[in-house]
Amino acid sequence: MSAVAERFGDKRIERQDMLGSFVSHGLSQGQLELETVVQLLGGSGTTSTGILNTMLCLRTQQVGVHRKGARAGAAQQGPCRGVEAFPLHLTFIFLQQAIASTIILTGANGSAGIHAAEHLLKTYPEFTAIFTVRSAADTDVNTENLRRIISEYPGSHASVHQVDLADLSAVHQFASTVSVGIVAGQYPPLKSIICNASYWNLVGDPELTVDNYDKTTQIVHIAHVALVLRLIGSFSPDGGRVVLVSSIGHFRKKDTNDPMTLDEITQQKVWKKSAEWAKITKDNTALGDKLE
């Protein structure tokens, strides 16, 4: 490394910095080259990052290590051969998986879910993202939009899975796939399950699922409970978080003679604004139909 080499020799450069301090205390050029790897990755105080930096140093430099000799207690000093370094490689993978985690987001191609998915990909690229959708077909416009967003983050670890929450057998099959994948090392342990998928029929007759439950109740509640309970044992040892996305749709206007609380006033304002947006959406849709 040129930054280290310039500190030695007949025309060596002396600087009042960390490397200069090491030189003045007698460290050799080889020792400084090893130290520089850690210096470049410095700045984090977490134990996990420190261990990862050590593993990176061991894997990328010809470090002298003690090897087991022919007799008990004997040791031989010398560079580590590839076959002897293999356990270090396995240790490095283990540490990576211990730090990395998986996040499941249901309803990832919906109006709120797709923005949450993009936020995860952009802000937390180190996580493995598992996005579930009702239909993974290429003809599904929303799913194709999700795939397009994923393609904009080539360094991400994201996958799209078709899971119809209106069918509990599909939920159990998906849960089995994830849990088996975590055990096999395909996915890191879970850090969060974001229960975002929803369904609400406001215009038609009540609907029943193949499991003979009300469709809204199963998709919003029952299926998510089943998914979380099936995967609760697949979370990382340090725990995680289950996020339940809800709405104020269950609130109804109370008797007009009763005084309204601040929360109820806020809810009323939200309902009013929602009604305005619904009318705008309906008018725009009607206009679009006419233009077509």
Contact in structure between 249 and 274 (CB atoms under 8 Å): no
**CA-CA distances (angstroms) from residue 131 to 101, 162, 184?**
14, 9, 20
Q: Is the dihedral of CA 64, 67, 69, 73 positive or negative?
A: positive
pLDDT digits (tens, 9 = 90+) for 117-155: 999 999 989 999 999 999 999 999 999 999 999 999 998
**Mean pLDDT over residues 5-15, rounded?**
78
Candidate from 92-96, 181-185, 247-251, 267-271 with smallest mean pLDDT? 92-96
Is the full-model pTM beyond 0.75?
Answer: no
pLDDT digits (tens, 9 = 90+) for 184-237: 999 999 999 999 999 988 788 889 999 999 999 999 999 999 999 999 999 988
Contact in structure between 127 and 157 (CB atoms under 8 Å): yes
Residue 227 vs residue 288, higher pLDDT: 227
